[in-house]
A and B are shown apart, each in its own frame.
Chain A
Amino acid sequence: MTLAAAVHLTMGTLDLDLDIAVEAGEVVALLGPNGAGKTTVLRALAGLQAIDTGCITIDGTVVDDPAVGRFVPAERRPVGVVFQDYLLFPHLTLLENVAFGPRAKGVGKTPARADAQAWLERVGMGDLSGRKPRAVSGGQAQRAALARALATDPRLLLLDEPLAALDAGTRLSVRRDLRHHLAEFDGATVLVTHDALDALALADRVVILEHGTVTQVGTIAEVTTRPRSGYVADLIGVNLLRGEANGTIVELADHPGRVIIADPAHGPVLALIRPHAVSLHHHLPEGSARNHWLGEITGFDLLGDRVRVRLAGDVPLVAEVTPGAVTEMALAEGESVWATVKATEIEVYPA
Chain B
Amino acid sequence: MSKVSLAVNAKNYTVDADPQTSLLTVLREHLDLTGSKYGCGEGQCGACTVLIDGKAQRSCITRVNSVAGKQITTIEGLAREDHLHPVQQAFLDEGAMQCAYCTSGMIMSAVALLKKTPSPSEAQIVDFMDGNLCRCGTYSRIIRAIHRAAKTTESATGKGAGQ
The answer on A and B forming one complex is: no
